[in-house]
Amino acid sequence: MVFLNPRRPCVALCDRPEAALTNADTTRTRLLEALLHEALDLASGTLKAAE
């Protein structure tokens, strides 16, 4: 439940979407880091196998 501050109603209404955007950014960053880590591990394994 969202409680609106009568002096700052827009702040309360904007907090949820802002938090959702921040969460989406964090999730996107973590997924990209995991993807890059896996790709680099695979590339490293491929290079070792070719030696």
5, 11 contact by CB (below 8 A): yes
CA distances (Å), 18 to each of 12, 22, 25, 31, 32, in order? 10, 6, 11, 20, 21
Measure the CA–CA gap between 6 and 13, rounded to whole angstroms. Answer: 12
Q: What percent of the chain has pLDDT over 90?
A: 41
The pLDDT value given to residue 28: 97
Alpha helices in the chain (DSSP H): 9-50
Please give the radius of gyration of the chain, using alpha carbons only, rounded to the nearest integer.
21
pTM surpassing 0.75?
no
Res. 42 pLDDT band, cuts 50 70 90 = confident
pLDDT tens per residue, range 7-27:
666 666 778 888 899 999 999
Measure the CA–CA gap between 36 and 30, rounded to whole angstroms. Answer: 10
